[in-house]
């Protein structure tokens, strides 16, 4: 259980540095992959602790024909640790359900807004309210910009702002941000990673806009700064705001400084650390499943050596099924 926790803490500690010092696209990909890897491995380890706790129950052992004392001997996991794992797993399930509900509500609101605004898929829609510019990822995507913000920007900066928002849609930044949010909902230690991914995705869109405009990074910096100053603070956040991608939000000062400085280096040490972390997580998860299946087969066979294969997997499946029956009693 230690490997996923250590990896999650390490990822949270280095996420800001990765987002700031590495190329934005690579930073986003590495952070998202590592966050998802941490979340999957953590959920797997917590589920295996639940399996161990249920497998030690006399009723489950009697139904499947093995000795719970022998199982406890081969799996020396304190029951307090198993109960803590079950509690963390329950918290993760609740957080995932709440996030799913909020995201579905936001996507429906964004879809309704796109329907009302009309326009072509991936096109620009000009509205009269506020000083806003954002990308909506639903219905093929729309770039929404207010007339007041367009009037506040020179023509070149208008092009930079629109290129930034189109980059959000083209590179599917909403899905990458959502994946990190799901991971943080499962693994509480990843709470700082979504902010780093949001910043890195904004930087990615900034650099994409600069490349589209012939490499004019100072122009994009001026557009970002002016949009951030002109952006109207919404008194009440609409339901779709959580899925909208706005170029004038986030750490505008850091983004402007990054655009006015030299291009970020390759950041190979940090990216390599992320790749190693992800590989270790996947290996730890695979070993945990393999070890649990082997112990279940060993206990079922009474301590005698048997061939590893489908029998261990089948027994693990039976214990898991029995766990569900114990946790969710059948109706009637």
pLDDT tens-digit readout, 93-137: 999 999 999 988 888 888 887 777 766 666 677 776 666 788 888
CA-closest candidate to residue 204, choices 179, 183, 174, 233:
174
What is the rounded distance in angstroms from the CA atom of residue 3 to the CA atom of residue 284? Answer: 7
Per-residue pLDDT, 294? 65
Q: Which of the two residues, 71 and 330, has the higher pLDDT score?
A: 71
Mean of all residue pLDDT scores within the chain = 79
CA-closest candidate to residue 193, choices 269, 89, 277, 91:
277
- The distance of Cα 213 from the centroid of its chain, to the nearest Å, equals 31
What is the rounded distance in angstroms from the CA atom of residue 332 to the CA atom of residue 326? Answer: 15
What is the rounded distance in angstroms from the CA atom of residue 202 to the CA atom of residue 197? Answer: 8
Beta strands 142-146 and 245-246 are unpaired
Question: Which residues are bridge partners to 143 per DSSP?
Answer: 124, 135
Q: Which of 97-111, 168-182, 300-314 has the lowest mean pLDDT?
A: 300-314
Confidence grade of residue 181 (pLDDT, cut at 50, 70, 90) = very high
Mean pLDDT is highest, among 42-46, 242-246, 249-253, for 42-46
The phi, psi pair for 246, rounded to 5°, reads -105, 130
Per-residue pLDDT, 158? 92
Segment (H or E) for 133: strand 133-136
Region 259-277: mean pLDDT is 75
Residue 249, pLDDT > 80, answer no
Give the other-Cβ count within 10 Å of 160's Cβ: 28
Confidence grade of residue 229 (pLDDT, cut at 50, 70, 90) = confident
Q: How many domains does the chain have?
A: 1
Q: Residue 146: CB partners within 8 Å, gap ≥ 6?
A: 126, 127, 128, 129, 130, 131, 132, 133, 232
Please report, in angstroms and rounded to a whole number, the separation of the first and last CA atoms in the chain. 38
Question: Which residues are bridge partners to 302 per DSSP?
Answer: none
Confidence grade of residue 322 (pLDDT, cut at 50, 70, 90) = low
What is the rounded distance in angstroms from the CA atom of residue 248 to the CA atom of residue 161? Answer: 9
Q: Which of 90-94, 157-161, 260-264, 312-316 has the lowest mean pLDDT?
A: 312-316
Region 66-76: mean pLDDT is 71
Give domain status of residue 332, yes or no: no
In percent, how much of the chain has pLDDT > 90?
30
What is the rounded distance in angstroms from the CA atom of residue 111 to the CA atom of residue 109? Answer: 5
Q: Which of the two residues, 151 and 319, has the higher pLDDT score?
A: 151
Q: Which of the two residues, 42 and 67, has the higher pLDDT score?
A: 42
- Structural domain of residue 18, as residue ranges? 2-327
Per this entry, what is the length of the chain? 332
Are the CB atoms for 94 and 186 separated by under 8 Å? no
Confidence grade of residue 327 (pLDDT, cut at 50, 70, 90) = very low
Per-residue pLDDT, 247? 60
Confidence grade of residue 91 (pLDDT, cut at 50, 70, 90) = very high
Q: Which of the two residues, 55 and 107, has the higher pLDDT score?
A: 107
Region 239-260: mean pLDDT is 76
Give domain status of residue 10, yes or no: yes
CA-closest candidate to residue 279, choices 30, 1, 25:
30
What are the structure tokens assigned to 119, written together?
A: 């326009």
Give domain status of residue 206, yes or no: yes
Per-residue pLDDT, 125? 77
CB burial of 300-329 (b: ≥16 within 10 Å; e: otherwise) equals beeeeeeeeeeebeebbebbbebbeeeeee
CA-closest candidate to residue 311, choices 78, 64, 117:
64
What is the rounded distance in angstroms from the CA atom of residue 256 to the CA atom of residue 182? Answer: 29
Per-residue pLDDT, 170? 92
Per-residue pLDDT, 58? 79
What are the structure tokens assigned to 131, written together?
A: 């000083």
Give domain status of residue 69, yes or no: yes
Residue 244, pLDDT > 60, answer yes
């Amino acid at each position: 259980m230690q490997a996923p926790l250590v990896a999650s803490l390490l990822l949270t500690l280095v996420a800001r540095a990765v987002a700031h010092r590495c190329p934005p696209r690579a930073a986003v990909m590495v952070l998202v992959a590592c966050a998802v890897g941490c979340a999957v491995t953590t959920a797997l380890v917590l589920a295996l602790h639940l399996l161990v706790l249920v497998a030690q129950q006399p009723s489950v052992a009697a139904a499947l024909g093995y000795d719970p004392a022998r199982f406890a001997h081969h799996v020396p996991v304190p029951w307090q640790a198993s109960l803590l794992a079950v509690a963390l797993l329950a918290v993760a399930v609740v957080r995932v359900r709440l996030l799913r509900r909020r995201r579905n509500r936001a996507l429906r609101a964004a879809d309704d807004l796109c329907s009302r605004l009309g326009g072509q898929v991936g096109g620009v829609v000009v509205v009269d309210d506020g000083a806003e510019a954002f990308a909506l990822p639903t219905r093929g995507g729309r770039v929404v910009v207010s007339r007041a913000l367009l009037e506040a920007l020179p023509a070149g900066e208008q092009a930079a702002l629109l290129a930034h928002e189109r980059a959000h849609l083209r590179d599917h930044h909403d899905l990458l941000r959502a994946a990190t949010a799901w991971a943080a909902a499962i693994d509480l230690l990843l709470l700082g990673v979504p902010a780093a991914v949001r910043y890195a995705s904004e930087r990615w869109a900034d650099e994409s806009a600069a490349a589209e405009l012939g490499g004019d990074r100072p122009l994009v910096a001026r557009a970002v700064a002016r949009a951030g100053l002109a952006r109207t603070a919404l008194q009440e956040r609409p339901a779709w705001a959580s899925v909208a991608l706005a170029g004038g939000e986030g750490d505008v000062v850091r983004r402007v400084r990054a655009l006015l400085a030299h291009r970020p280096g390759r950041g190979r040490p940090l990216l390599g650390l992320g790749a190693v972390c992800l590989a270790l997580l996947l290996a730890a998860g695979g070993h945990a499943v393999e070890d649990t299946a082997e112990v279940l087969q060993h206990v079922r066979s009474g301590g005698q050596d048997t061939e590893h294969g489908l029998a261990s997997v089948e027994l693990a499946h039976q214990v898991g099924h029995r766990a569900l029956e114990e946790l969710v009693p059948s109706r009637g």
